[in-house]
Structure 1
Amino acid sequence: MEPRNQTSNSKFLLLALTEDPELQPLLFSLFLSIYLATILGNLLIVLAVTFDSHLHTPMYFFLASLSFTDICFSTTTISKILVNLQAQNQSISYAGCLTQVCFVLVFASLENFLLGVMAYDRYVAICDPLRYTIVMNPWLCGLLVLLSLSISIMNALFQSLMVLRLSFCTHLEIPYFFCEAVQVIKVTCSDTLINNIFLYFATTILGGIPLSGIIFSYTQIVSSIMRMPSAGGKYKAFSTCGSHLSIISLFYGTGLGTYISAAFTHSSRKTAVASVMYTMVTPMMNPFIYSLRNRDLKGALRKIIRSVPPFQ
């Protein structure tokens, strides 16, 4: 018998790392700690860049945009699992799942674009320093972020509408702790050929263009640095790129690990652990990576912390 279309009443089960009721409070505390650290760290960077005039440069503008994106991405993914762990309920409604799919696509795509834009900023700063302030003017910086956001939103809306046309049965299991487009498509009762074609095409184009830009930018940067006569100049140029390269490695490394785990393992628990690395650890580590390696940013953060009145 063909499965009946019960999409309007469908509920998805988000498979957490464990179903043991005794371990769920521990997971709740862990995830809440990660979430609060992510929000606090990224919020401090946004405030530092906003209120310190010394940080009103393209590099820090893009960094603040990346931090704001990490706040939104973490809120989109972690908030639901915190609610589920507290209520000891793994389900999410059809509407809630589709909404989460849309926002995850927006912020994951936006972070990908911002990393590409930041690589272009470093390329201009190192390879064409005399024209840096002319090329990376405030108008272009704002346009690049706005264009990245617009493309991310359009792609997310299109992919969500493609999922909306699918039919689902009830009590469908997703091996993540949040709704992700690929995993949602896998559990549908409908033919998913068109969805898969558009999804992988969009992923290839929207993911490949920023990644290609990053590779090209750093190829030119390395070539330019190697031609510098002084060792001090080489070290300074490399140090300005170190934090960005660390974030790129963390973002693409954990993202690739998540999809490799989902494709080649049949263990839902291993897939869930990989998704935790991608969606929780990366946004939490970004502010620490930048603040620990950047003297100007550390100085701005100290000013903000000192300005906060002590608790009486």
Structure 2
Amino acid sequence: MPSSVMPTPRQDGGTPAAVSVVGLRKSYGDKTVLDGIDLRIPAGSVFALLGPNGAGKTTTVQILSTLITADGGQAQVAGHDLAAAPQAVRAAIGVTGQFSAVDGLITGEENMLLMADLHHLSKREGRRVAAELLERFDLAEAAKKPASTYSGGMKRRLDIAMTLVGNPRIIFLDEPTTGLDPRSRHTMWQIIRELVADSVTVFLTTQYLEEADQLADRIALLNNGRIAAEGTAEELKRLIPGGHVRLRFADPDTYQRAASALREVTRDDEALALQIPSDGSQRELRTLLDRLDSAGIEADELTVHTPDLDDVFLALTGTDQPKETVR
């Protein structure tokens, strides 16, 4: 892999930022956990922070949700300065950590009402909000049962429902689907999509690359306390070499003509297939198709192969040396 990675396109500066971070730093003793990270997360989007264990994902969430203080840098959350107005930040956010905040000794409904009390809602308003959220998260039938009897997926849904009692506009979800079965994970994905449809901003940390690929508008890879790369899923996949277009032909003569007409091809004479290096972009595909049209050649099958997020993750976090920050 090359010694440095290509820069990804910048985000649209015209969209209001729900979270803005410049030079965020955090150390514990001689261990640097965050080494000057920069982030800008547009309002009403899903942002995913990926990284290996110990990369600093949870520390980032804890700082931005005012649970711990940074050693350096500046951050604004929901338009409020993190250091100067932590109370205003707390009023605008919700946080669901890796470990559920659900109290298993009381019922799901009682958990919800407890959160309503913490948000200083009246009893009538608290019961209304609790009932609506329990219904929304398909927990109404289990509302009177002790939360200790809930499945892992039900506890996670209750945890997020509790987070929504205060009607936050920014939600931090720190590895929300860890330990869930595939069905429960897909249910959680749908909940996240519905939150964003309601103009909520979601800051998601996850170790499931498919999760980030499915949900996130933008993704940042955190490694050794630095942002190794940032962009959309498709932009990140193009950073890694190995993408190609595969053309397959039914007619041997057409195959031979295509092999002669195209440059830098890898031939598969048995399958009558050609492989052409490509980043999968529309521009490169158009150039390839124009060359085929000019030569009067039509492929019977065209497939585009690009690296997936697993490839990106391994390439950019598979070394102890920090990568060049991509902005």
Larger radius of gyration: 2
The structure that is strand-richer by fraction is 2
Q: Larger % of helix: which? A: 1
Whose relative contact order is higher, 1 or 2, with alpha carbons under 8 Å and at least 6 apart?
1
Q: What is the TM-score with the length of structure 1 in the denominator?
A: 0.22
TM-score (norm 2): 0.22
